[in-house]
Amino acid sequence: MKITLRLILSLIVAVGAVAAFSAYFQVGQERHRQEEELARRSRLLAEGLQETVEPLVQKGPSERLQRLVERFGNRERLAGVAVYDSKETPLAVTKSLAAALPTAPQTIREALADGVESGGFDRVDKREMHLFALPLRAAEKVLGAIVIFHETSYIRARLHEIWRITFLRVLAQAVLISLVTLLVVQWTFVGPIAQMAEWMKQLRAGGSIESSPLPRGDLFAPMAREVTTFARHLSVAKTAAEEEARLRQASESLWTSERLKDHVKTKLGGQPLVIVSNREPYMHRYKGREVEVIVPAGGVVTALDPLMRSCGGTWIAHGAGDADWDFVDERKRVRVPPDDPQYTLRRVALTSAEENGYYYGFSNEGLWPLCHIAHVRPDFRPGDWAHYQTANQKFADTVLDEIADFSSPCVLIQDYHFALLPRIVKEKRPEARIALFWHIPWPNPESFGICPWQKELLYGMLGADILGFHTQYHCNNFLETVDRTMECRIDRERFSVIKEEHLTAVKPFPISVDFSPAHQGSPAAGAPKSDRAAILKDLRIKAEYLGVGVDRVDYTKGILERFRAVERFLDKYPAYRGRFTFVQIGAPSRTHIKRYNDFLAETDAEADRINWKFKGSDWRPIVFQKRHHNHQEILPFYRTADLCMVTSLADGMNLVAKEFIAARDDEGGALVLSCFAGASRELRDALIVNPYDSEQTAEAIRYALEMPPEERTARMKRLRETVKENNIYRWAGRLITELTQVRFEQDPVARG
C-alpha cells in the first residue's frame, strides 16, 4: 500500500509540475497577447482622433475638445482620453480621470520629448492602466499629444482564470490518475504477484510446476520464465535427492546429474570439459523473418546434451544454421540452451567446399557406408580426403585455442568425422587427456581395408588416450584392423595399443540416455498425460493399435524393411486391417547426397504403395511424417504406442530404443529391436529380430500386440531397470574415470 501511495504521489507531483509549467507558459503568452491587443486598439483609436484633434490643439483648451474626449472616453474597457499640449499641460481630460492627473505620466513626457508614440503600464488613480501617447504635429512640430487610457483589470481576471482552470484540471487529473493507478497496480502487479506467490506456495506444498498458470504478460513473462526454470531445477534436485535417499536405503548406486557433476569436479580438479562433434546441439535458423532454435536429430545430441547440462564446459561443433553467426560473440561462442543457459557452444565455420568434401563426401559417402556395411558402395575421392584433413585441422585449432589456458584439459571427441583430430591435438598438447568415442560400428579388417587412407585414419585415432566403442565386438574388430594394418604393440589382455610410446586403451562404453523424469517430461515431472485419441485426430486417421518408429531417413535404419514387415503382418493377419497404424517419424538427413535423396523418394513411394494396397476411407497402415520433430513432439508417440520398431540394418547403439523405454513410465508397450543394433546386447527383453526377415518381424509385431499384459509389464520393467541403471550419466562417469586414470598407466617403464 505504501508503494502504491508513493507511486500515486509521485505521479501527482509530476503531473502538477508539468501543469504548472504549462500554465506559467500559457499565462505569459496570454499577457503578451493582451498587451499587444491593447497597444493595437489604442493606436487605432489615437490615429482615428489625430486628424480631428490636431487643429483644435493649436487653439488651446476648448469646449469642443472636451466634448470629444468625453464622447470617446466612455467606451468599453476605455478608462479615458486626454489631450496635452507641448508643455505637458492638459487641454482636455475625461472627467473621471481629471482629478487623478495632476501631472503628466511618464509615458506622455516620453512621447512629447522624443516625438514618437509611446506606450506602457502605469498606476493612475491607484489603478494599473495601460497608457498610449501619440504625438500631435503641425509642420513637423510637436504641438502636443493625445493619450488613450485603458483599464487592465480584465487582463488580471483572465490570467487568474487560467490559473484556476489549471488547478481544477490538475485536481481532476490527480483523482483520475489515482483511480487508474490503483486499477493498473491491482491488475498488473498485485494480482500477478499474488498469483505467483500462490503458485510458489502450492509448489512448496508438493504441487506440480503446472499446478496453476503463471502470469504471462509482457511485464512478467521474463520473470515467469526464470521462476519456472528455477522451480524446475529445484524439482529435479528434489527428485534426485529423494532417489538418492531411496537408493541409499536399498544399498544401490544410481548415477544422476548431480552425482556426475560432483564426480567430474573431483576427477578433473577444475580443469575444463571440452566436447567436440560435427553436429551442434542447438541450431539457429531463419523461418521467414523470425529466427527459431532447433535441436538437430541424432543420437550424439540426444546423449550428450544432458551430460553438458550437468557438467558445464564447452561444446565445439560446426555452425551449420543460416542464423548461427548472428548469435555468437567475438570468439564465436554462445551460451545454451537459449532458455536456460548451462554450458558454452563454440561454433566452427566451414566453407561450402569444406563442408561438402569433409562431411557429405569423405565422412558420409566414404566412412559411413564403409563402417555400416549396408550394401551401399563407399566413395573415396582424393578431394574429399583433402577437405577432411583441412576440417580436422580447423577443429584442432579451435580446440587448442579453447584449452590454451589450462594445464591438463579433458577433451571428448565424438565420432567418425574426427579420426585425425586426436593425433593433431596430442602433438601440440601431450598432457591433454583425449578420448575419441566412435558412435558407429567398426567393421571387420577386410571391409575397412577398402579405405585408401586407412593407415592415416588409424594413426590419427591412436593419438587418443581412450578409444571407445559401443560394444566389445566393435573393439575386437578395431584391434584386428590395427593388427593387420599398423606396426605397433597390441596388449590384448589390457585391450590397448602402443604406438610410438603412446598407449591407447580400447574399451566398450555402451552409451545411453537421460532417464530422469524431468528430461522425459513424465507426469511425475508435471507434464500432462499423453492422449492417443488426440494424436490420431491430428493424423486424421482412426486406429485401435499404434506403432511408432523414429529415425533419420537413412538407408542403414531399415525403414524399408520395417514397412515391408508391416505389409507382411497385414497380409498374414487381415483382422488388423483398419485397426493397426504404424507412424514413421523420419527427419530428412544429408539431402545433399544423391543416395539419401533417392532413398527418401524410395521410402515415400514404398509407404504410398502399401497405403494404396490397403487403402481405407479413414485409415492408413503407414503414416510417414517427413519432417524434423523435437523431443517433446516425439514423447507423446513413445508414450501411447503399443510398440516401437527399431530395425537398423547396422547400428552402433541406436538410442531410439532406449528413449522409448525411458518414456514408458506406465510400463506398457513393446520394443521390436534389430539384432544388428548395439542396443540388442543390453536390451534382451526386447523382441529381437533380423530386419531382413520380414516374416520374423511380422510375427514380432503380432506378438507385441497380443502379448499378455503381465508379460508386457514384466519385460518393460526389466528394460527400464537396465536403461535406468546404465544411463548417460553412468556412461560419462565411466568414460571420465577411465580417462583420468589412463594417464598414470602410460609410464613407459610400467608398460615394460
Q: For the chain, which residues make up each domain, given as ranges?
A: 34-157, 224-253, 261-508, 528-725
Higher pLDDT pick, 60 / 100? 60
**CA gap 231, 251 in Å, rounded:** 29
| C-alpha cell read off for 268 | 578433473
Q: What is the mean predicted confidence (pLDDT) over 629-639?
A: 91
Among 224-238, 286-300, 612-626, which stretch is predicted with the lowest mean pLDDT?
224-238
How would DSSP label each residue in 187-223?
Answer: IIIIHHHHHHHHHHHHHHTT--TTSSPPP-STTTHHH
Architecture of the domain spanning 34-157: 2-Layer Sandwich (3.30)
pLDDT at 252 over 60: no
Looking at residue 256, what is its pLDDT? 86
Q: What is the mean predicted confidence (pLDDT) over 10-34?
A: 80
**CA gap 409, 268 in Å, rounded:** 8
pLDDT band per the 50, 70, 90 thresholds, residue 249? very low
Looking at residue 206, what is its pLDDT? 58
pLDDT at 747 over 50: no
Return the residue matching grid coordinates 504478460: 217
pLDDT at 523 over 60: no
Looking at residue 751, what is its pLDDT? 41
Q: What is the mean predicted confidence (pLDDT) over 557-586?
A: 96
Higher pLDDT pick, 73 / 731? 731
Looking at residue 244, what is its pLDDT? 58
pLDDT at 749 over 50: no
Architecture of the domain spanning 261-508: 3-Layer(aba) Sandwich (3.40)
Looking at residue 568, what is its pLDDT? 97
Q: How large a percentage of the chain has pLDDT more than 90?
A: 51
pLDDT at 42 over 50: yes
pLDDT band per the 50, 70, 90 thresholds, residue 236? low
pLDDT band per the 50, 70, 90 thresholds, residue 746? very low
Among 79-83, 115-119, 227-231, which stretch is predicted with the lowest mean pLDDT?
227-231
Looking at residue 212, what is its pLDDT? 56
| C-alpha cell read off for 171 | 485536481
Looking at residue 250, what is its pLDDT? 45
CATH T-level fold of 528-725: Rossmann fold (3.40.50)
Higher pLDDT pick, 454 / 519? 454
Among 54-58, 198-202, 619-623, 718-722, which stretch is predicted with the lowest mean pLDDT?
198-202
Q: 450 in helix, strand or coil? A: coil
Q: How far is CA 25 from CA 21, 60, 296, 532, in A?
A: 6, 48, 64, 72
Higher pLDDT pick, 202 / 361? 361
How would DSSP label each residue in 271-336?
Answer: --EEEE-SS-SSEEEEETTEEEEE---SHHHHHHHHHHHHH--EEEEE--STTGGGS--TTSEEEE
**CA gap 228, 200 in Å, rounded:** 10
206-224 pLDDT per residue, tens: 555 555 565 555 555 666 6
pLDDT at 260 over 90: no
Higher pLDDT pick, 22 / 100? 22
Return the residue matching grid coordinates 569433409: 358
pLDDT at 11 over 80: no
Q: What is the mean predicted confidence (pLDDT) over 480-493?
A: 93
Q: What is the mean predicted confidence (pLDDT) over 83-111?
A: 79
Do 528-725 and 261-508 fall under one CATH topology? yes
pLDDT at 90 over 90: no
Going by C-alpha positions, the residue among 587, 547, 517, 555 that lies closest to residue 669 is 547
**CA gap 508, 469 in Å, rounded:** 5
- Cα distance between the two ends of the chain: 81
Looking at residue 49, what is its pLDDT? 81
pLDDT at 231 over 70: no
- Is residue 84 within a helix (H) or strand (E), and if so which, with residue range? strand 78-85
Q: Which of 23-37, 50-64, 147-161, 637-651 has the highest mean pLDDT?
A: 637-651
Q: What is the mean predicted confidence (pLDDT) over 470-497?
A: 94
For the chain, the maximum distance between any two Cα atoms, rounded to a whole number of angstroms, is 146
Q: What is the mean predicted confidence (pLDDT) over 285-301?
A: 86
The pTM (predicted TM-score) of the whole model is 0.69
| C-alpha cell read off for 589 | 538427413
Q: Which of 59-68, 73-82, 155-164, 657-666 has the highest mean pLDDT?
A: 657-666
Looking at residue 649, what is its pLDDT? 95
Phi, psi dihedral angles at 125 (to 5 degrees) = 55, 40
Q: What is the mean predicted confidence (pLDDT) over 450-477?
A: 96
Angle formed at CA 225 by CA 344 and CA 294, multiple of 5 degrees? 50
Looking at residue 539, what is its pLDDT? 92
Higher pLDDT pick, 502 / 250? 502
Residue type for 495, please? F
528-557 pLDDT per residue, tens: 456 889 999 999 999 999 999 999 999 999
Q: What is the mean predicted confidence (pLDDT) over 663-675?
A: 96
581-601 pLDDT per residue, tens: 999 999 888 888 889 999 999
Q: What is the mean predicted confidence (pLDDT) over 726-733?
A: 92
Question: What crossing angle do the helices spanning 532-539 and 631-640 adopt, rounded to 10°?
Answer: 110
| C-alpha cell read off for 586 | 523420419
pLDDT band per the 50, 70, 90 thresholds, residue 350? very high
How would DSSP label each residue in 641-709?
Answer: -SEEEE--SSBS--HHHHHHHHH-TT---EEEEETTBGGGGT-TTSEEE-TT-HHHHHHHHHHHHH--H
Going by C-alpha positions, the residue among 540, 607, 616 that lies closest to residue 574 is 616
pLDDT at 748 over 50: no
pLDDT at 274 over 70: yes
